Chains A and B, each alone.
Chain A
């Protein structure tokens, strides 16, 4: 255990030295942006911690502990409920294209949901707003039905394109909800104003609703109108949680370590600022690092 943190301490010192060396390169070799030194060091630290955690996870046989996230437990229940009621599941992977990390995360989570619907033999409906997302979601869903040994249940049109336009898409999804009455609605991806249009309609048809998004502005709507919400970072952790693969879970552990480091840094910066303000030192951490 201690060993791990020793590695990190040495690693961070190494990264700092490396960054310093890069920014001290002579003019002729100057390919490094010194003004971004702090960012560079931080990025390298994140990469180092992540890769090392993954390596540890691969070599160790122990399970990594993660706290429960109620919204993720509820996904399986929702699929089960839909099966009992004989009604479909609606999955909305957000309204943006694959050039948003949230959308990609939403599509990855779709893979896990498709695994469940294949197991439970529940109908899955995925209307999408972008054709690239459609293609990716199809690949993911197909793969899920294959691994579950139910290729005959997979139908390409379970993932279907509606339109690129935000509100036209919202109007159509509202229509689908009203007419097909899904037992569960899952919203996982990047959302804008249409979030509440979905969530209110879903609520009025009595569906169990689980949302996950990294769109800060839309979290409050999902929190008020949905049964469960994966807020921000929880949503990004969702795919790792659902996959139960140690390599992916290790990524979450890495995030936790970075979080603690950041909190430590905030404390340190406050103290160093106090010293500076009181005239005890003539520098403060923030200006020193040129942040």
Chain B
């Protein structure tokens, strides 16, 4: 009971209170602990945990292969890839220097020395440095396997934002319309094409959309038509008097308008979210430190 329940709760309370109070107490020992060691400790524990996770992953994949469950072949691929990378990470240095040049194997490096007829000796990379050395086998794996895969998963998002906005940006109600309009204005206003769109065109579009809205709201076509014609006439007249400058009036010019949206209403919204998140995190953290919520320990 002591080991399973009380000590974990005590650990939370002690370290939580210690790291929190470290911000206010002017004491070097406490300060170094909170600034440096506390997170280092966590990183080390997390590093051990990675191996625990890997064991779990292997266990599940092996079960799939051994029981020949559906698509077990792919699990075999996962296991093979794991051991491929594991061996490169732990058992092969994969970098041998001859002068400034790097070779994957001792043999290749020695051959290079002979071929170049040089007097250099072959110098293997230090353990530990091999995962960070440019030109090592580990780096090769990173460059040609790991990084294309992650970058491509990331790039899939380019397609997904398009389909998500196509599906979700529908003017169902006022909230959705605001989302839609702000999104479109930012999307166009931030790229060069946006600065080629005249503010006058935007005014016409707005006048037309308002007409559309008037029609939907009053169900009176004549009134809507009257509005559209009247406002078009007004805009055109204004245009001729002002000489159709592309960026005037500025509130209808997308690059200027997006800047305003970005700096004013958007900022207000994100500020509220930030404060909300901040309060939520502070209150939740305090609940943990004071032991009001312990369910993450399985209590």
Q: How far is the CB of B47 from chain A (nearest CB, A)?
A: 10
Chain A 79-116: CB-based contact to B (< 8 A → 1; otherwise 0): 00000000000000000011101101101100100000
Partner pick for A143 among B51, B57, B299, CB 8 A cutoff: B299
Chain A 187-219: CB-based contact to B (< 8 A → 1; otherwise 0): 000000110110110010000000000101001
**B250 proximal to A (CB < 8 A):** no
Chain A interface SS verdict (over half): helix
**B24 proximal to A (CB < 8 A):** yes
Q: Are A197 and B50 neighbours in the complex by a CB distance under 8 Å?
A: no
Taking CB atoms and an 8 Å cut-off, the chain A residues in 234-251 that contact chain B are 235-237, 239, 247-248, 251
In angstroms, Cα B45 to Cα A168, docked, is 22
Pick out which of these stretches binds chain A: B106-114, B201-209, B213-221, B285-293: B285-293
Q: Are B23 and A39 neighbours in the complex by a CB distance under 8 Å?
A: yes
**B223 proximal to A (CB < 8 A):** no
Q: Are B57 and A163 neighbours in the complex by a CB distance under 8 Å?
A: yes
In angstroms, Cα B295 to Cα A108, docked, is 6
Q: Are A224 and B179 neighbours in the complex by a CB distance under 8 Å?
A: yes
**A142 proximal to B (CB < 8 A):** yes
* B164 contact set on A, CB distance < 8 A: 196, 199-200, 203, 221, 224-225
Q: Are A225 and B168 neighbours in the complex by a CB distance under 8 Å?
A: yes
**B87 proximal to A (CB < 8 A):** no
Q: Are B49 and A130 neighbours in the complex by a CB distance under 8 Å?
A: yes
**A124 proximal to B (CB < 8 A):** no
By size class, the interface of chain B is: 35 or more
**A285 proximal to B (CB < 8 A):** no
Given the interface pairs A136-B297, A168-B149, A214-B281, the reply to whether A31 lies near B27 with Cβ below 8 Å is yes
Pick out which of these stretches binds chain B: A3-11, A47-55, A60-68, A268-276: A47-55
Partner pick for B286 among A46, A171, A216, CB 8 A cutoff: A46
Q: Are A166 and B150 neighbours in the complex by a CB distance under 8 Å?
A: yes
**A277 proximal to B (CB < 8 A):** no
Q: Are B285 and A32 neighbours in the complex by a CB distance under 8 Å?
A: no
Taking CB atoms and an 8 Å cut-off, the chain B residues in 2-42 that contact chain A are 20, 23-27, 39, 42
* A140 contact set on B, CB distance < 8 A: 295-296, 298
Pick out which of these stretches binds chain A: B89-97, B189-197, B228-236, B267-275: B267-275
Q: Are A231 and B286 neighbours in the complex by a CB distance under 8 Å?
A: no
Pick out which of these stretches binds chain A: B125-133, B153-161, B254-262: B153-161
* A12 contact set on B, CB distance < 8 A: none
* A235 contact set on B, CB distance < 8 A: 280
Given the interface pairs A132-B45, A132-B46, A161-B53, the reply to whether A197 lies near B24 with Cβ below 8 Å is no
**B57 nearest CB neighbor, chain A only:** A161
Given the interface pairs A33-B25, A40-B24, A251-B287, the reply to whether A259 lies near B279 with Cβ below 8 Å is yes
Q: Are A164 and B50 neighbours in the complex by a CB distance under 8 Å?
A: yes
**B60 proximal to A (CB < 8 A):** yes
**B299 nearest CB neighbor, chain A only:** A143
* A216 contact set on B, CB distance < 8 A: 270, 273-274, 277
* A168 contact set on B, CB distance < 8 A: 149-150, 153
Partner pick for A197 among B26, B52, B156, B270, CB 8 A cutoff: B156
By size class, the interface of chain A is: 35 or more
**A160 proximal to B (CB < 8 A):** yes
In angstroms, Cα B273 to Cα A105, docked, is 17
In angstroms, Cα B277 to Cα A233, docked, is 5
Given the interface pairs A31-B26, A196-B164, A224-B168, the reply to whether A219 lies near B42 with Cβ below 8 Å is no
**A139 proximal to B (CB < 8 A):** yes
Q: Are B161 and A196 neighbours in the complex by a CB distance under 8 Å?
A: yes
**B121 proximal to A (CB < 8 A):** no
* A157 contact set on B, CB distance < 8 A: 60
In angstroms, Cα B16 to Cα A104, docked, is 14
In angstroms, Cα B183 to Cα A221, docked, is 12
**B284 proximal to A (CB < 8 A):** yes
In angstroms, Cα B20 to Cα A131, docked, is 26
* B168 contact set on A, CB distance < 8 A: 224-225
**A36 proximal to B (CB < 8 A):** yes
**A167 proximal to B (CB < 8 A):** yes
Q: Are B298 and A255 neighbours in the complex by a CB distance under 8 Å?
A: no
Q: How far is the CB of A157 from chain B (nearest CB, A)?
A: 6
Given the interface pairs A200-B163, A216-B274, the reply to whether A104 lies near B283 with Cβ below 8 Å is no
Q: Are B26 and A30 neighbours in the complex by a CB distance under 8 Å?
A: yes
Taking CB atoms and an 8 Å cut-off, the chain B residues in 99-141 that contact chain A are none
**A74 proximal to B (CB < 8 A):** no
Q: Are B150 and A165 neighbours in the complex by a CB distance under 8 Å?
A: yes
* A139 contact set on B, CB distance < 8 A: 296-298
**A134 proximal to B (CB < 8 A):** yes
Q: Are B276 and A232 neighbours in the complex by a CB distance under 8 Å?
A: yes
* A16 contact set on B, CB distance < 8 A: none
**B285 nearest CB neighbor, chain A only:** A101
Given the interface pairs A99-B42, A225-B168, the reply to whether A104 lies near B150 with Cβ below 8 Å is no
* A223 contact set on B, CB distance < 8 A: 179
Partner pick for B273 among A132, A225, A231, CB 8 A cutoff: A231
Closest 8 A-B residue pairs measured CB to CB? Answer: A139-B298, A236-B280, A131-B53, A233-B276, A131-B49, A167-B153, A161-B53, A224-B168
8 residue pairs from A and B, CB less than 8 Å apart? A104-B284, A132-B46, A134-B53, A138-B298, A143-B295, A168-B150, A232-B277, A258-B283
